[in-house]
Structure 1
Amino acid sequence: MNNYSTTTLKMTRNFDVAPERVFDAWLNPEMMRKWLFTLEGTNKVAQNNPQVGGTWEIIDHRGGKDYRAIGEYLEIDPPTKLVFTFKMPQFSELEDTITVELKEIQQGCEMTFSQNINVPHEEKWSEADIEKALGESHDETEHGWNLMFMGLKELVETGEISYKG
């Protein structure tokens, strides 16, 4: 038996802008620091090397603590597809894979987001414990992305996010 299980979160969002604008928000550090795992007011680091094999890093400072998110770009196909890894080393060495696909629609673009979430097991967990952990992780991750995607929508459609944190 593995010491982790995987669940997949899939979400779809529409934006009233061209796919290029949304794609840029995933890779431009000045835009990333306003919404991706952080807010402008709490961001300490937003840096990346947006090429296949390149890495990204975001450090957010909240409640007296630094939260570090890192990953590597696996696929970059502007403005339609971005695939990258994601992990927060202070919580787990497990790495998730995130895929962002964008397509033009009549009014703007549609973003399909999916994240393969790896959930570590604790010793002596039953199947029910594993299922509960997978469900909780899925729901918590979805909640976090819902908040971030609200900020992303506001950022790409207006240029700013009203909530500064």
Structure 2
Amino acid sequence: MADKSVVNLTMVRDFEVEPDRVFEAWTNPELFRNWFMTLQATNKVAKNDLQVGGDWEVIDHRQGQDFRAIGTYKEIVDNEKLVFTFKMPQFSSDEDLLSVALKQTPAGTNMIFSHDITVLHEDNWTKEDIERAEKEYHDSTEEGYNYMFMGLKELVETGKVSYTGEGN
């Protein structure tokens, strides 16, 4: 058995704004600090070096603990595509790969998001254990992105995210 596997999560979302607005929400730290892996009220760090080979970082502080997400940009096509690595070093040294493809539509923008999720295996896992873990990782990751993408949609379409995390 392999010590890890990769499961793909692909999600599609539509936005009633031009692709440049969605692209900016993915690449401008002042915007992505409001929805990507963090909330404005709990965000400690949001920064990036938007160039191929450049790094990005988000640190969110919740329940007395810092959650750090980092990565490196692999491909950037303005207003059309981002490909970057994703890692949370406090949980694993493995890097996942994320991609965001944006297409102009008559109503605004269609976003196809993909995340190749690394699933670490335990030594004694059976094939069924691995399949169960892959489904759990897929489903819990999808649930998290569902919440994030609701914030992204609200941000790009209204200019703000109503749920700020204050008081939590």
Query: Normalised by the shorter chain, which TM-score bucket?
Result: over 0.9
User: Aligned pair 1:112/2:112, yes or no?
Assistant: yes
**1:42 aligns to what?**
42
Write out aligned runs for 1:10-159 (5 A).
10-159=10-159
Q: Give 1:11's aligned amino acid.
A: M
The whole-number CA distance in structure 1 between the counterparts of 2:130 and 2:87 is 20
Q: Give 2:57's aligned amino acid.
A: E
**1:5 aligns to what?**
5
The whole-number CA distance in structure 2 between the counterparts of 1:3 and 1:73 is 26
The whole-number CA distance in structure 1 between the counterparts of 2:71 and 2:77 is 17
**1:163 aligns to what?**
163
Moved over 2 A (4+): none
The secondary structure found in structure 1 opposite 2:114 is: strand
The whole-number CA distance in structure 2 between the counterparts of 1:4 and 1:110 is 32
Where structure 2 has 5 or more consecutive residues not aligned to the other structure, the ranges are none
Task: State the identity %.
Answer: 59
The whole-number CA distance in structure 2 between the counterparts of 1:59 and 1:81 is 24
Q: Give 2:79's aligned amino acid.
A: P
Residue 2 of structure 1, CA deviation: 2.5
Residue 94 of structure 1, CA deviation: 1.0
The secondary structure found in structure 2 opposite 1:146 is: helix
The whole-number CA distance in structure 1 between the counterparts of 2:138 and 2:4 is 14
| TM-score computed with the length of structure 1 as normaliser | 0.99
Please provide the CA RMSD for this pair.
0.6
The secondary structure found in structure 2 opposite 1:111 is: strand
The secondary structure found in structure 2 opposite 1:101 is: strand
Residue 3 of structure 1, CA deviation: 1.1
Residue 104 of structure 1, CA deviation: 0.4
The secondary structure found in structure 2 opposite 1:39 is: coil
Residue 5 of structure 1, CA deviation: 0.5
Count of matched residue positions in the alignment of Structure 1 and Structure 2: 165
Once the two structures are superposed, residues 38-75 of structure 1 have per-residue CA deviations (whole angstroms, 9 ceiling, x without a partner) of: 00000000011010000000000000000000000000
The whole-number CA distance in structure 1 between the counterparts of 2:30 and 2:121 is 37
Once the two structures are superposed, residues 8-48 of structure 1 have per-residue CA deviations (whole angstroms, 9 ceiling, x without a partner) of: 00000000000000001110000011001000000000011
The whole-number CA distance in structure 2 between the counterparts of 1:3 and 1:69 is 23
